[in-house]
Amino acid sequence: MIIRSKAPLRLGLAGGGTDVAPFSDMYGGAILNATISMYATAAIQPRKDGKIILNSLDKQQRFEFDSIEKLPVDGQLDLHKGIYNRLIRDYLLKPLSFELTTYVDAPPGSGLGTSSTLVVAILGAFAEWLNLPLGEYDLAYLAYEIERVDLQMAGGKQDQYAATFGGVNFMEFFKDDKVIVNPLRIREKYLDELAHNLVLYHTETSRLSSLIIEEQRKNVMEGNEKSLEAMKKLKEQSVMMKEALLKGELDKIGDILDFGWKFKKNMADGITNPMLDEIYDTAKRNGATGGKVSGAGGGGFMFFYCPGNTRSTVIEALKEFGGQTKRYDFTQKGLRSWTI
């Protein structure tokens, strides 16, 4: 028997960073994101020999343990271990014996929500195997708690919900970890055109998002006016993006992205750097009307809105920086799991 699951990565189109406490607790956050055809996958094979095997194909790491109630969290595949530990604790399960194999279509630090999406995928596989009573909101919140509370990994709340629900969503974040996911019914032709015009570019760099997020949190707690104003503007941006997509006003998307990028850079140091600025300026000189760094910033993926027939011109111009353009489509489904 094999239990499999897959969860989609996401593009944060607007409002990024406003899902991070304490800003979301104090002012309320709002984000518009959309899942894409890149995935985190998990497969569980039950065993009968009293062993636990954790196998990450993309990281090329494999660890074997005796079947115990709590695996050591020591910096090696901690997401895998943290999920197992929490499920044993919460559901009073006896130690399990299994092999867990995972793979993510994008590298860590890419800005597409890889870590949180992987947590959702692994949880989905366990929920399928053990028949756990987890609805969509329950699973997304549990994924958030494992990452942010149990494992003390800095970050926001959007990625877990995006991976679980899938599709294009306008998400609202409130104090006490309350989240409301509002699915948007975008006409298919608008999504097809958006996917064509949004060039997804990997800079071939990565970043440690936790450092940027921690500074962002510090700026909010200290009342840094420049940072707070930036986050409030990004919250406004999410509403602007929602209206443009629902109305099919795609010619506004680039300007809305550009509006957000100007303020996002003020949230914390490290979100941009001279190389990222040069990539952004090059894309705009060659026809893009706006764009942003995906995720917390500092590296990883960037994307640019290229209206009309400017897509190929922008892609050609970006070749000088040594990165890669990634093909994708928007997806409507979130977490899926099944047993073979």
Torsions phi, psi for 242 (to 5 deg):
-60, -45
3-state secondary structure 106-161: CCCCCCCCHHHHHHHHHHHHHHHHHCCCCCHHHHHHHHHHHHHHHCCCCCCCHHHH
Catalytic residue among 159, 177, 192, 251: 159
Q: How many CB atoms lie within 10 A of CB 99?
A: 17
- Is 329 an annotated catalytic residue? no
Residue among 78, 91, 65, 157 at smallest CA distance from 122: 78
Contact, 154 vs 76, CB < 8 A? no
What Rg do the C-alpha atoms of the chain give, in angstroms? 20
Distance CA 295, CA 162 (A): 13
331: left (phi over 0), alpha (psi -120 to 50) or beta: beta
Q: Are 7 and 126 in contact (CB under 8 A)?
A: no
H or E stretch covering 244 = helix 225-247
* Cis status of the peptide bond prior to 274, with omega within 30 of 0: no
Distance from the Cα of residue 145 to its chain's centroid: 15
Residues taking part in catalysis: 159
